[in-house]
Amino acid sequence: MGKKFAMLAALALVLVLGPVMIASSGSFNGKWYSSGEMGNSALEDIFSDNDWDTAKSGEGLKVTTPEGRVFLVEWDTGKNLMAYVAYYNFNAGVTNNQKMKLVNRINDEVVFCKAMVDKDGDLRFEYYLRYETGLSNRQILDAAQFFIMTTRFAVAKKD
């Protein structure tokens, strides 16, 4: 009960503070992006309007927040999905068994994003956002900020 309560309390704090942090850091003109407008150029505009840096990364976009948090945006245009992706390195000497135990614990306790070990042995987080009918700039930024907070919370589960 204690762990679940702590997780729910942290989640409630994120839900309350997350939008406040975002709203204080940029412009929210309520611009709507249709599914046909979704892509790297739309995201570059949205993130740069809020002082986040962007750079092309393969087919997607590398995004850096003013606080230095980095994540990627990847696209599955056939399914109208954009994915927020973050990578973390494991400490040297961590076994595959330890990696899988951590990933399983994260996936059991943190429901907003999915954790996995990628082919290079790094910890990968992803969250998919459907844009079938389009998204507003606020939805895109709120989801990105919440993804960042959730991955930070999940990485703290390493102990």
From 13-27, 82-96, 134-148, the region with the lowest mean pLDDT = 13-27
**Rounded CA gap, 69 and 132, in Å?**
27
Q: For the domain that residue 153 is a member of, what is the CATH number?
A: 3.30.1460.10
Task: Look at 3 and 140; give whichever has higher pLDDT.
Answer: 140
Question: Mean pLDDT of all residues in the chain?
Answer: 85
Task: Look at 113 and 19; give whichever has higher pLDDT.
Answer: 113
Q: Is the model's pLDDT at 19 over the cut of 80? A: no
Q: Is the model's pLDDT at 6 over the cut of 50? A: no
Geometric angle at alpha carbon 1, from 109 and 149, rounded to 5°:
35
Split into its structural domains, the chain has a count of 1
pTM: 0.79
Residue with tokens 């070990």: 117
Residue pLDDT, tens place only, 76-121: 989 999 999 999 999 999 999 999 999 999 999 998 899 999 999 9
DSSP symbol at 49: T
Tell how strand 60-64 and strand 53-57 pair up: antiparallel
Average pLDDT over residues 49-75: 95
Closest CA to 70 of 89, 91, 49, 45: 89
How many other C-beta atoms are found inside a 10 Å radius of the C-beta of residue 4? 9
Model pLDDT, residue 30: 82
The Cα-based distances of 36 to 52, 58, 77 in angstroms read 23, 20, 10
Model pLDDT, residue 106: 94
Full domain range(s) for residue 114? 2-158
